[in-house]
Amino acid sequence: MSGKQNSAVGEQQPPSSGKRKKTPKPETRLAMVRRARRINRELAEVYPYAHPELDFENAFQLLIATVLSAQTTDLRVNQTTPALFAKYPTPEDLAAAQPEEVEELIRPTGFFRAKTKSIMGLSAAVRDNFGGEVPGRLEDLVTLPGVGRKTAFVVLGNAFGVPGITVDTHFMRLARRWKWTDQDDPVKIEAEIATIFPKSEWTMLSHRVIFHGRRVCHSRRPACGACPITHLCPAYGEGETDPEKARKLLKYEMGGRPGQRLKPPPDYPGEPAPAMGAIE
């Protein structure tokens, strides 16, 4: 036998302390629910003025504005709808309009031909099937052309006071970042979030999460260093962590700029958004 010992056997190992580094335990369901509800409470303190960011005066206007908001900003919709609602104030008026005239009015919102078909079609359905009044039930709203669950919950929560969870792109992104869900389908996300929060919180929860997604927790460059809930966020560090650099990423009133509404609520801390044609 050779005098050389096998390295795997004879090589001396450093003394062990007898203690192994502990692997963090996976978060329990109960711990996640408690953390999620604390996030909601703290966001309520950050955004006590959270609100729907579409200008509207009644359920019909909110329904039309929400359909128009697809693939564009709420600001662009708010700049566009005053002329539309001035010319077509009721479902009956819009249903009987000339499509070319409607297209021209909503052109700034993009996809104006498809949107014209939707808003004229839903106006006709409201006129013919619901006596000219926007229905206040989910099962009725989703029968209207261009109206899905997200749009329906916006209308139900903000025009009728019926609780609902609005799963838009911001809500989906933050719910996944905060480990409330790992689902990709909006309906499945809605169902999971509904089990975490009491029904009475659903509408305002949606506003707070969407507010935070638009102002701080952006898709590409989250402002982690300026975020007020980093102590509760398992995704901290995905974005800019330097406080000064992060503050420059803040949007709307938190960054000292106007929000999305031309007619914001009285408690909104920022300036009204500019009308169409004004300097933005």
Residues catalogued as catalytic:
150, 168
Helix (H) or strand (E) holding 114: helix 112-129
Phi, psi (degrees; rounded to nearest 5) at 237? 105, -10
Using CB atoms within 10 A of its CB, is residue 4 exposed (0-12), middle (13-18) or buried (19+)? exposed
Q: Which amino acid is at 190?
A: E
Q: Which amino acid is at 265?
A: P
- Cβ atoms 60, 141 nearer than 8 A: no
- Cβ atoms 197, 206 nearer than 8 A: no
Of 152, 148, 149, 116, the closest CA to residue 135 belongs to 152
CA 32 – CA 54 distance, rounded (Å): 32
- Cβ atoms 91, 135 nearer than 8 A: no
The CA-based angle 34-35-36, given to 5 degrees, is 90
Of 158, 194, 156, 154, the closest CA to residue 70 belongs to 154
